[in-house]
Structure 1
Amino acid sequence: MQFAHFDIDQFLRNHWQKRPLLIRNPWNDWQNPLEPDELAGLACEEGIESRLIVRDGDALKMESGPLPEARFGELGKEAWTLLVQAVDHTVPDVAALIEPFRFVPDWRIDDVMVSYATNGGGVGPHYDQYDVFLVQGLGRRRWRVGPVCNAQTPLLPHEDLRLLPDFEATDEWVLEPGDILYVPPGFAHDGVAVGDDCMTYSVGFRAPSRAELVEGWADHQVDRMAEDDRYADPDLAAQPHPGEITAASLDRLHAMVLESLSNRADFARWFGTFNSQPKYAEADWRPEDLATPETVQDSLAQGIPLLCNPASRFAFIRQATGGITLFADGQSFDCTGETADLAMQICANATLEADPALAASSSAVELLVTLINQGSLAFDDGEED
């Protein structure tokens, strides 16, 4: 699934993280990739993050999944919305929606959330801390976009939802199937279904906060520090006031902290593993039958395609000495030569037809065995899951 007409360079220059943009149906032939009943079925499954938001008069009430199947039959005439997170992890046709947006680097991609709403359904005026492309899949939805919000913006008191009490729209559009609304971080927005059978696909992106980076990197470094690595002042001289922390002492203390956090190569490896952690770390995608070098060599020699797990996260960083470091689901792998080429192909393709000659490369085979056994890759056995 690709765009038929969309100026990526102009979008990045004029709109990305700057201002919202309505993109009228840019597809060759838009096809809604998921039926409402299938979405409802996912919301009933264990291990799937879902929410049901029902309007009760002027208020919104939220229920967290998994939902009992009978719940949907109990819903009355009040407007309601079903939201299911990370549908791309389990539905290939929804995962395919990410491909045309890969002009944004993969390490920024979060997931595809899918919502279904009856007439008047929505989650209320709110703002998010991430970029999102709201793709109208089925039915119609009226979107209103307002001003930029921040941590000081007042919110309505609500146990589950972060709703804006004073929302004044600056723009308003009704989206038809195939239309896309891009909303940058912080912009207030409110989407309401116009008619029943309204489905919206939210292709969301992530950006680590400064606090997350500092905390994660510092914690990582602390775990590696020796107990005897302590402040020292062998050049100590008598000072006029015993209660003063001198500038020289502060300089030395400050340098201790900065020096421990300043190694860029170490930071790069830490960030690659940190950022490639799966969205749901508790999910176990490991195969029942573990791969061996022999089974991998045999599959490579037969030309069997490799499939990337849509729930996995891949990225790589080029090394100054040549080669790359591959990151896959929180693990790192140093790769050179043909194995580095293979790793980059894995990062670029959901389905990969690897060179059968790689069966003779022990390093490439070793990498594939590890990635398959941790659930990041699989050889295509031709069977639907």
Structure 2
Amino acid sequence: MTSPSHPRDPGTTTDAGVLRDRLTRRPREEFAREVWGRTALLTRRASDFTDLFSARAVDELIARRGLRAPFLRVAKDGATLPEASYTSPAGVGATIADQLDDTLLWREFADGATLVLQALHRTWAPVAGLVRALGAELGHPVQANAYVTPPQNRGFDDHYDVHDVFVLQIEGTKRWLVHRPVHPDPLRDEPWTGRRTAVAEAAQGPPHIDAVLEPGDVLYLPRGWLHAARAQGEVSLHLTLGVHGWTRHALAEHLARAALAALRDDPWARGTLPLGVDDPADEIAAVRERLAEAVAQADPAPLFHRARRRQGRPAPLGPLAQLAAVDALGPDSPVRLRPALEARLDGTRLTTRVGWLDFPQDELPSVARLLDGTVHTAGDLGLPLAARLLRAGVLVPAPGDPPW
């Protein structure tokens, strides 16, 4: 018996969701059909983002959280500054040298530098919640950065990204100049720096979008679209949600790996070429035929889903809250599948971002029910199964997110 496969955790896949309600004011299917990966889109007054991030949050993260350099970059006049110019040890008990130094950062910021808080989906809970919801809705990994730019300054020269972005203006205003791609749909190993001349030339032409973003506005840019931005008469703060889309090229890579793995088990493919081969045309033709057969039979899905799991993290889990849930577990205890777990049930095995588990046939119906993402009682699932999944970090107490 093979249980149904679930390609990703349950998420919002109808027209109601983050994409429409907070970012584009367009139904999901309309956005997918007319905009996604095709063209830039500016949405005025898309939402109120004051619940997500703020200038006070920037000061909190820089001055009080003990963040280290990987969580922040500093850019000035189109270049990134060395980490040593804004990091230092923090005294007794915190002598790690690459911690953010708020005094040094203040001086750089006052001198016109842009502060880039990176990976906010790991450090700021409201942003993390939005990223999880959007990632589930789009089916692609999402990350979040914040850009804090002093008045009348810019952080980076005209460039393109190798991922799609949603720009959410939080505070202040910023003028954006957007140009069409010089290299549509760049892959992750095709950054703009390999096309500096073409980018610079294209940026001199008439822009596709020339607009000042105000708080609540959202700008969507597919990967490859050129852009540059400058703050206006006050400090500008915006969030960038980067969507690292899976491509057909990535699927082809997984398919090729699966086919090559199969050929390792083929004694003919492992064989040595004949002696004195000067023109390998016949051998190439034979290998091409055997490789085509392997591609036709290969299943890239396991490699693809393994890669998907590595691209993200499950929702936060508090060890103390989890232990309390295990100790207090009873038939009426509400539990649910941990969000963003990327859980799949194939046969008798459940694979997740926190590992895999095998189950006997009589527990499979209960495990399959969990994948709907709704709240269940431990008694409905079976207390031994619920306890096992809580200890594994697959189930979490419900309802809602923990207060921490």
Provide the TM-score with structure 2 as the length reference.
0.69
1:12-47 deviation digits (Å, cap 9, x = unpaired):
2211111111111123x4425223343355355137
User: d(CA) in 1 for partners of 2:107 and 2:39?
Assistant: 40
**Number of the residue aligned with 2:12:** none
SS at match of 1:42: helix
Are residues 1:303 and 2:333 paired? Answer: yes
How far does residue 231 in structure 1 lie from its aligned partner after superposition? 3.0
Most deviating of 78-87 and 180-189 = 78-87
SS at match of 1:371: coil
1:258-302 deviation digits (Å, cap 9, x = unpaired):
4555555x421221111111558xx9x88767978x964844645
**Number of the residue aligned with 1:20:** 40
Structure 1, unaligned runs of 5 or more:
346-351
How far does residue 170 in structure 1 lie from its aligned partner after superposition? 2.5
Name which of 55, 61, 65 aligns with 1:42.
61
Contact 2:332 2:379 in 1 (8 A): no
SS at match of 1:89: helix
Please give the root-mean-square deviation of Cα atoms over the aligned residues, in Å: 4.3
How far does residue 368 in structure 1 lie from its aligned partner after superposition? 3.7
Contact 1:146 1:170 in 2 (8 A): yes
Are residues 1:328 and 2:348 paired? Answer: no
Name which of 152, 158, 171 aligns with 1:138.
171
Name which of 378, 388, 397 aligns with 1:356.
378
Contact 1:83 1:116 in 2 (8 A): yes
State, as a whole percentage, how many aligned pairs show the same letter: 19
User: d(CA) in 2 for partners of 1:73 and 1:326?
Assistant: 49
Question: Which structure has more RCO (C-alpha within 8 Å, separation ≥ 6)?
Answer: 2
**Number of the residue aligned with 1:192:** 230
Contact 2:148 2:236 in 1 (8 A): yes
Contact 1:273 1:332 in 2 (8 A): no
Are residues 1:314 and 2:314 paired? Answer: no
1:125-274 equivalences under 5 Å are 125-150=158-183, 155=193, 164-166=199-201, 167-168=203-204, 169-208=207-246, 229-231=267-269, 243-245=278-280, 247=282, 249-263=283-297, 266-274=299-307
Contact 1:276 1:329 in 2 (8 A): yes
**Number of the residue aligned with 1:277:** 310
User: d(CA) in 2 for partners of 1:225 and 1:19?
Assistant: 41
1:135-167 deviation digits (Å, cap 9, x = unpaired):
111111111110212279974999xxx994331
How far does residue 95 in structure 1 lie from its aligned partner after superposition? 2.1
Contact 2:143 2:243 in 1 (8 A): yes
Report the number of matched residues: 350
Are residues 1:371 and 2:386 paired? Answer: no
1:195-230 deviation digits (Å, cap 9, x = unpaired):
333111111111246665565665677678767844
Provide the TM-score with structure 1 as the length reference.
0.72
Contact 1:20 1:182 in 2 (8 A): yes
Q: 1:156 to 1:383 in 2, by over 3 A?
A: closer
Structure 2, unaligned runs of 5 or more:
1-16, 84-97
User: d(CA) in 2 for partners of 1:75 and 1:263?
Assistant: 57
Contact 2:326 2:390 in 1 (8 A): yes
**Number of the residue aligned with 1:349:** none
SS at match of 1:315: coil
User: d(CA) in 1 for partners of 2:211 and 2:332?
Assistant: 52
Q: 1:132 to 1:229 in 2, by over 3 A?
A: same
**Number of the residue aligned with 1:348:** none
User: d(CA) in 1 for partners of 2:35 and 2:248?
Assistant: 23
